Chains A and B, each alone.
Chain A
Amino acid sequence: MSIKLEVRHLYKVFGGDAEPAFERLNQGLNKTDIFEQTGLTVGVQDANLEVHEGEIFVVMGLSGSGKSTLVRLLNRLIEPTRGQVLIDGEDVAAMSEAKLREVRRSKISMVFQSFALMPHLSVLDNTAFGLELAGVDQAARHQAARDALAQVGLEANADSYPDELSGGMQQRVGLARALASNPDIMLMDEAFSALDPLIRTEMQDELLKLQSEHQRTVVFISHDLDEAMRIGDRIAIMQGGEVVQVGTPDEILHNPANDYVSSFFRGVNVGNVFSAKDIARKSQTTLIKKESSSGLRASLKRLQDNDRDFGYVVDKQNRYLGTVSIDSLKTQVEQDSTLEAAFVAEVPVVEAATSISDILTIVAQSPCAVPVVDEQQQYLGSVSRATLLETLDRENEA
């Protein structure tokens, strides 16, 4: 994957001449000491990031960790003190005002925590706002805005005003506004934090859906680890203005860089972090159905040899067909029927992306390990009660 956005040795110092702060940073002083000695606040300190094209990159940290400052440095809403922000190799920090406006209009857009919709404009005009600034004529920008609204499911509300919409709908407008100019990069500053948990999940799904239709580079700021784990392809963790760790959710979960990072995960609900495919194992017996024979006896023998009560039947293309048990096989052997007739009806199937917390009941009530299939019905493995309990217990292990 190519690098879309790169941050190199980026610093932001608030409160006047930054030189004294840099001297003290070189001496190895920390943020608090520097503030006490000079009154300067180090917002972001030597940040280095590489954001790949088409990924959702989550920047996470507690309040005051500099994550909101960092995202504003990316589109230069806050002027960087030192360092480079490269979008497609062009340094945002060094470009002229006119060039910067051009980049903001076409390449990089932003979604805000507070929605920041213009109260005097209709939903349609709000969505078209970026295009209006870019000088697109009314017919064209309204068309683009309608398309963007359709993507977030709000075409019907085009003529409403922001104050007539609920919070979730307002943020959809915010999202549509950011989508309308068809940017390469979307910055989302705690975009869903102001929404209630149900709507938040819905908006996360919306974002993932949009992402599956059109892969944009998304930099997502969040203080919510569950959210970060859920939507992030990679996560950067910030602490006191520094980026302390960058990696995939799994990497960070398994190898936290320091206590601060691991403290994040202490309360994490693993059930939301992992999905069925992550814990599906192929340790159960798989039976391949052949067209030539019914395969009843062969299947029975394999199960007995492997000392298993259940077997998972797939075709040659590894498509999941059904589950058989020793009992059902024996019954059908007596009647000399087909393998399909031996399928146990009460065995459920779960999809790969289902989160673990959603399959708890299914697994608990199933007579055997639950088979997991992907969208093409490909058999990925199965989840037994033992695997599930082990995964949920991970928290205490760490």
Chain B
Amino acid sequence: MTASNPWATSQPEQETSNEAAANPWGTPSDADTASSLSSAGQLDEVSWDFWRPFQSEWFPLQDWVETAIDWIVSNFRPVFSVLKQPVDTILSFFDAVLNGVPPFIMIALVALLAWQASGRKLAFGSIVSLTLVGAIGAWSEAMTTLALVLTAVFFCMAIGIPTGIWMSRSDKVARAVRPVLDTMQTTPAFVYLVPIVMLFGIGNVPGVIVTIIFAVAPVIRLTNLGIRQVPEDLIEAANSFGASKPQLLYKVQLPLAMPTIMAGVNQTLMLSLSMVVIASMIAVGGLGLMVLRGIGRLDIGLATVGGIGIVLLAIILDRMTQALGRDARARGTRHWYQTGPVGLVRKLILPRRGD
């Protein structure tokens, strides 16, 4: 067991006396009780003391969890390999596209997308930022990270939006899902990093899976919230005109909840980016790995390059998704296709109508 716990190597030799137990940082002495950190099982010999009830654990949760994971790993490994498949496919696709397209064309594409989603300002901003990322030597890492993040966000939306809709339709489901989301959001990523590695192995795909677990909660929560916030009188009006359940969802609830859902997607995206460094601990490539290596070798330069890359990527993605969440009319246009590069092309191609 200790072999799988690299941070506990010195502890099996440590033995604490009864006096030392009162002082957990005290130096090891000749007493026969072992440190509770590593081999608590031997404490059974000590009789239970009312004044020190938690000196030893009451039941061996550690062992249970270990047994359970071992059992799952040995029996369900094929299942998890199958689960990896779709993630692997999407990730390979994004990675191939992002790393395959020549950098300048990529920058131009992102700029056009930013122009369409938000405006010329962001388009200009993304040209400058992406050029900077490339100039400091982090281009291919940035593209790898972008592929990982996009894959994670894709699956977060694919899982999160339907789950959110399901939650919004049933209070029972909402009550059941909420604690699961709380757990996923509050559990430190390091805690489930180990079981994920045991189940899925190491590499980019498990990295995406870890990121999905960490980042899926906001999109679920905000989809649920957005749909529940649709005014009751609009639901009533739709029903009074004979809307079926799917019509109600697609024609009223989802369109009206869209700004809130997009805020959730934005949050999910930001959380995914923040997982990049942690995920690099299980051999995920990209900007996170640059930062991790930089920390490991105390190479402040490398860490800074990776860090700047993450920040610039984060800003571009954040601004773009925020702009998508805003109503088109809030930006002074009626339809998305009347503005940005598409609007420009339409104006050039379509003959001017006499109106």
Q: Do chains A and B stick together as partners?
A: yes
Any chain B CB within 8 A of the CB of A102?
A: yes
CA A101 to CA B242, docked complex, whole Å? 4
Contact of A130 among B231, B236, B242, B256 (CB under 8 A): B242
CB-CB nearest in chain B for A110: B240
Q: Return chain B residues, CB-CB under 8 Å to A132.
A: 251
In the complex the two chains form, is A114's CB within 8 Å of B242's CB?
A: no
CA A104 to CA B247, docked complex, whole Å? 14
Contact of A116 among B236, B243, B327 (CB under 8 A): B236
CA A181 to CA B243, docked complex, whole Å? 14
In the complex the two chains form, is B233's CB within 8 Å of A105's CB?
A: no
Q: Total interface residues on B, using CB and 8 Å?
A: 20
Q: Return chain B residues, CB-CB under 8 Å to A105.
A: 241-242
CB-CB nearest in chain A for B247: A133
Contact of B240 among A109, A117, A118, A134 (CB under 8 A): A109
Any chain B CB within 8 A of the CB of A119?
A: yes
In the complex the two chains form, is B233's CB within 8 Å of A133's CB?
A: no
CA A348 to CA B242, docked complex, whole Å? 52
In the complex the two chains form, is B252's CB within 8 Å of A77's CB?
A: no
CA A112 to CA B240, docked complex, whole Å? 10
In the complex the two chains form, is B242's CB within 8 Å of A134's CB?
A: yes
Any chain B CB within 8 A of the CB of A217?
A: no
Any chain B CB within 8 A of the CB of A129?
A: yes
CB-CB nearest in chain B for A130: B241
Contact of B241 among A109, A119, A159 (CB under 8 A): A109
CB-CB nearest in chain A for B258: A120
Q: Return chain B residues, CB-CB under 8 Å to A110.
A: 237, 240-241
Any chain A CB within 8 A of the CB of B301?
A: no
In the complex the two chains form, is B256's CB within 8 Å of A133's CB?
A: no
In the complex the two chains form, is B239's CB within 8 Å of A77's CB?
A: yes
Which B310-355 residues have a C-beta within 8 angstroms of A?
327, 329, 334
A→B interface (CB under 8 Å): 75, 77, 100-105, 109-110, 112, 114, 116-120, 129-130, 132-134, 159, 161, 177, 181, 187
Can you name 23 A-B residue pairings with CB atoms under 8 Å? A77-B236, A77-B240, A100-B242, A101-B242, A101-B243, A101-B244, A104-B242, A105-B241, A109-B240, A109-B241, A110-B240, A112-B233, A112-B237, A117-B237, A118-B234, A118-B237, A118-B256, A120-B327, A132-B251, A133-B241, A133-B244, A134-B242, A159-B334
Q: A118-B252, A133-B242 are in contact. List 14 more A-B contacts (CB 8 A).
A: A75-B240, A77-B236, A77-B239, A105-B241, A109-B240, A110-B240, A110-B241, A112-B237, A116-B231, A116-B234, A118-B234, A118-B256, A161-B329, A181-B241
Which 10 residue pairs across A and B have the least CB separation, nearest first?
A: A104-B242, A105-B242, A116-B237, A130-B241, A110-B240, A101-B242, A116-B233, A120-B255, A114-B233, A133-B243
B→A interface (CB under 8 Å): 231, 233-234, 236-244, 247, 251-252, 255-256, 327, 329, 334
